[in-house]
Amino acid sequence: MIQTVNLVVNYDLPVVHGSPSEPDNDVYLHRIGRAGRFGRKGAVFNFICGERDNMIMEKIEKHFKHNVTEVYPWTDNEQFEDALKKAGLI
């Protein structure tokens, strides 16, 4: 059993089976709920690749009434470390 998880990476956003443009909000919540449990820090990164992912992410944000902070792509280690700091991981 995994005791602690401080980072969850969604390589693909969960969608309802048979409905590729509808997010599966329950699965999304289950995935992100693994990060930072029991008072520990944690972060979730969602890879957004294209308009479909943007649309799904917007629906997820609307469903949970929460705006997800966008982290811009990084090109060097310093920018990567900065993204991790903003996420509270270092």
Range of the domain at 32: 7-86
pLDDT in tens, 79-88: 888 877 877 7
pLDDT tens, 4-45?
888 889 999 999 999 999 999 999 999 998 887 777 778 888
Domain harbouring 35, CATH code: 3.40.50.300
Residue 31 lies in a domain: yes
45-52, long-range: CB < 8 A, 24+ apart = 45/7, 45/8, 45/9, 45/10, 45/71, 45/87, 46/10, 46/13, 47/9, 47/10, 47/11, 47/12, 48/13, 52/20, 52/21
Q: Is residue 2 part of a domain?
A: no
43 within some domain: yes
Structural domains in the chain (count): 1
